[in-house]
Amino acid sequence: MIARQPFGNTGHESTRTIFGAAALGRATDEEAAPVLDLLLEHGINHIDTAAMYGRSERRVGTWMDEHRDEFFLATKTGERSYHAARDQFHHSLERLRVSSVDLLQLHNLVDPDEWEQALGAGGALEMAVEAREQGLVRFIGVTGHGVTVAAMHLRSLERFPFDSVLLPYNVPMMQNETYARDFAALASLCAERNVAMQTIKGITLGPWDDQEHTHATWYQPLEEQEDIDLAVRWVLAREGVFLNTAADISLLPKVLDAATRAAGAPSEADMNDLVERQSLAPLFT
């Protein structure tokens, strides 16, 4: 089984590997059908979805009548204003077929102007706080992509006591000195304040560039089990972080299998070999 740890200050012991339900967004019914059994088999107890993930919320919603109590359920809003975020969130509740979620996240909050709007008067954060007061959500988080996201999350935590953050974490990203410094500062603050730290893009090989897209991920992922094993072990070797699975159904069994067997950090030589052998490249520059 996959190890569990406290999800920040929420009181929930989440599996260190969280199901990234973006993988359900474009999956066929045939592809999506076995996913719930796979999650239950590996003891996954935390699902992360979003209003903008295609059919994802509706597919997760089909599980909730019988399995709501087995999962910490998180979704996201990409809207920045109070009214638009409120409408989107209520539609999420309908699609998920639940009366409340455990975590509502302000999605990809990186652009400075959008950040000011979402966290200012009449913004999405105001809606999230109201939803928490109404019992529609228990906790509030913030997510993001790109090389400035760690620095922006630091700003967000200074503005509001978010319960969780989500951002990229992989070897090529951490070879960017500025990003690595900001990530370390964010990790330190999250540990100090007991804020849950979720990571994404853990099995990134690099941008697709001109290659044919063979997976649903918007980046080219690692494919071989031994390579995924190394990448997953590297992420989970960092104390306190969570690994969100990739947005592709076919990769899910490999990531969960790797997480089940992950024990200890891979050697620097093994990671350098992976970088050189697969020509790992940063997704964001």
Is 34 inside any structural domain? yes
What value does the mean pLDDT take over residues 178-185? 98
Q: Which two tokens stand for residue 122?
A: 């009449």
Q: Between 82-96 and 56-67, two packed helices, what is the crossing angle to 10 degrees?
A: 50
> Which is nearest to 106 in space by CA: 141, 145, 154, 149?
141
Q: Is the dihedral of CA 142, 16, 254, 207 positive or negative?
A: positive
Which tens digit of pLDDT belongs to each residue from 38-56? 999 999 999 999 999 999 9
- Residue 272: CB atoms within 10 A of its CB come to 11
210: confidence class by pLDDT, cuts 50, 70, 90:
confident
At 27, the pLDDT band (50, 70, 90 cuts) reads: confident
The residue segments making up the domain with residue 29 are 4-278
Q: Is residue 284 part of a domain?
A: no
Question: Based on the structure, what is the number of domains in the chain?
Answer: 1
Asked whether residue 211 carries a pLDDT value surpassing 80, the answer given is no
Tokens of 155: 């700003």
Domain assignment present for residue 33? The answer is yes
The per-residue pLDDT for range 216-254, each reduced to its tens digit, is: 888 999 999 999 999 999 999 999 999 999 999 999 999
How far CA 62 is from CA of 22, 55, 66, in Å, comes to: 15, 11, 9
Q: Is residue 283 part of a domain?
A: no
Q: CA 230, CA 268: separation in Å to the nearest integer?
A: 11
Q: Residue 231 sits in a domain of what CATH number?
A: 3.20.20.100
pLDDT tier, 2 (very low <50, low <70, confident <90, very high otherwise)? very high
Tell me, yes or no, if the pTM score tops 0.85: yes
Average pLDDT, the chain: 96
Residue 285 is assigned to a structural domain of this protein: no
DSSP the chain: ---EEE-TTSS-EEESEEEEGGGGSS--HHHHTTHHHHHHHTT--EEE--TTSTTHHHHHHHHHHHHGGG-EEEEEE---BHHHHHHHHHHHHHHHT-S-EEEEEETT--SHHHHHHHHSTTBHHHHHHHHHHTTSEEEEEEE--STTHHHHHHHHHHHS--SEEEEE--HHHHTSHHHHHHHHHHHHHHHHHT-EEEEE-TTEEE--TTS---SSSSSEEP-SHHHHHHHHHHHHTSTTEEEEPPS-GGGHHHHHHHHHH--SPPPHHHHHHHHHHHT---S--
pLDDT tens digit sequence for 83-123: 999 999 999 999 999 999 999 999 999 999 999 999 999 99
Residue 116, in any domain of the structure: yes
82-96 and 124-133 helices cross at what angle (nearest 10)? 50
- Residue-level length of the chain: 285
Indicate whether 23 belongs to any domain.
yes
pLDDT at 29: 81
* pLDDT reading at 33 higher than 90: no
